[in-house]
């Protein structure tokens, strides 16, 4: 390898519904202090943000999260986490521009909230995978269970992860990069 050459960089988007673990996902694997636009939730979000599944949530992403991970001497990933609330979805088009792929993070306590992100990435024609973030105390489901519940086609990969654990997030990112590279025209 030519060490005088900078490693190739690629943009990855981490998307999903409100409170699914996107900020945690980016932060757990980033080798730099992640840029986060977390803001304290105020009374203004009452009746707008559903906290039933995440009653302890006190902050929310209002723009994006950003992190970086070096996979090897030849590849650096820049991670961009989207805001999850519908009122911020207008930013997704800008955040997605230039990405090689996306991770749609899903929460089995509320899988139905995954459909807007899945619809978005189907329409964007961007390679993506579904990463199921298992929260403590929730039932565990297999990849096939989630695929069936979300009516995902066979070519959309489903992986189980723990957004708090670096090795788990790294496995998700490697699976996405492999899929995105395979989708590139030769």
Q: What is the pLDDT of residues 85-129, one digit of tens each?
A: 676 677 788 889 999 999 999 998 889 999 999 999 999 989 999
Show the 3-state SS of 65-126.
EEEEEEEECCEEEEEEECCCCHHHHHHHHHHHCCEEEEEEEECHHHHHHHHHHHHHHHHHCC
DSSP three-state, residue 51: coil
With 0-12 / 13-18 / 19 or more C-beta atoms within 10 angstroms meaning exposed / middle / buried, residue 99 is buried
Worst-scoring range by mean pLDDT, 55-64, 84-93, 104-113, 177-186?
A: 55-64
pLDDT value of residue 63: 53
% of the chain with per-residue pLDDT over 70: 79
pLDDT value of residue 30: 94
Cα–Cα distances (Å) from 95 to 42, 74, 89, 90, in that order, read 25, 24, 10, 10
**Mean model confidence pLDDT for the chain:** 83
- Quote the CA–CA distance of 53 and 115 in Å, as a whole number: 17
* Pairing of β 59-72 and β 35-40: antiparallel
Q: What angle do CA 162, 88, 61 make, to 5 degrees?
A: 45
| The pLDDT of residue 156 is above 80 | yes
Comparing 153 with 50, which gets the higher pLDDT?
A: 153
Write the CB contacts of 54 (distance below 8 Å, at least 6 apart in sequence). Answer: 18, 19
Write the CB contacts of 139 (distance below 8 Å, at least 6 apart in sequence). Answer: 108
Q: If you count them, how many residues does the chain have? A: 186
Q: Which domains are present in the chain? A: 8-39+61-183 (3.40.50.300)
pLDDT value of residue 89: 72
């Amino acid at each position: 390898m030519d060490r005088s050459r900078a490693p190739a960089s690629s943009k990855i988007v981490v998307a999903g519904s409100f409170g699914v673990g996107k900020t945690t996902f980016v932060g757990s694997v980033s080798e730099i202090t992640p840029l986060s636009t977390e803001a304290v939730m105020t009374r203004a979000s009452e009746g707008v943000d559903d906290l039933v599944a995440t009653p302890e949530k006190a902050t929310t992403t209002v723009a994006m999260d950003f992190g970086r991970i070096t996979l090897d001497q030849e590849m650096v990933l820049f991670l961009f986490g989207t805001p999850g609330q519908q009122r911020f979805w207008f930013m997704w088009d800008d955040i997605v521009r230039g990405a090689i792929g996306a991770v749609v993070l899903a929460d089995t306590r509320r899988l139905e909230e995954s459909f807007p992100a899945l619809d978005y990435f189907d329409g964007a024609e961007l390679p993506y995978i579904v990463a199921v973030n298992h929260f403590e105390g929730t039932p565990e489901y297999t990849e096939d269970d989630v695929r069936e519940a979300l009516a995902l086609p066979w070519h959309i990969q489903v992986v189980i992860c723990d957004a708090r654990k670096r090795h788990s997030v790294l496995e998700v990112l490697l699976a996405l990069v492999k899929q995105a590279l395979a989708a590139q025209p030769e």
